[in-house]
Amino acid sequence: MVDVHEVPRPRIATGHLAQHIGKPVCFVGRVEKIHPTGKLFVLSDGEGKHTTVELSEPLDEEISGVLEVVGRVTNQATIMCMSYVQFREDKSPFDLELYNEALKIIHEFPDYFPFG
């Protein structure tokens, strides 16, 4: 199984999940809820739309705030997470809505921001 970290991972929002089924992606969103088992959590994107993220192993730490998830989109349009990173917000809050606008731009101009 190819390591998703070695291939291009398009940055997407919830609305793009359907077009990326089976593909590696990068999703940035705010933690909304975490399932008690720790194997599932929900992130909201810059438009407030929710995406479900699944883990193969339960979380071993508290997560909150803005997360950047790398994984593969499942047939159910959830994301199977391979790794995640918390965006630091200790100095400034992260403007998720602005990030969403930037995503629209890079999707509109793939020639100037190529994935792969």
Distance in Å, CB of 36 to other proteins, minimum: 27
Alpha-carbon distances of 14 from 58, 90, 91, 92, rounded to whole Å: 23, 26, 27, 24
Is residue 21 near other proteins by the rule CB under 8 A? no
Residues 35, 50, 40: CA angle, nearest 5 degrees: 20
Residue nearer to other proteins on the CB measure, 78 or 113:
113
> CB of residue 3 vs other proteins: minimum separation in angstroms?
9
Residue 79 in tokens: 């994301």
Q: Is position 70 an interface residue for other proteins (rule: CB under 8 A)?
A: yes
Strand locations in the chain, DSSP E? 11-12, 24-34, 40-44, 50-54, 66-73, 79-86
User: And the tokens for 101?
Assistant: 């606008």
Q: How many residues bind other proteins (CB under 8 A)?
A: 29
Rounded to 5°, the CA angle 92-95-96 comes to: 135
80 contributes a contact to other proteins by CB under 8 A:
no
The residue from 15, 23, 26, 54 that contacts other proteins (CB under 8 A) is 26
Enumerate binding residues for other proteins (CB under 8 A): 5-11, 26, 66, 70, 85, 87-89, 91-92, 94-95, 98-99, 102, 105-106, 109, 112-116
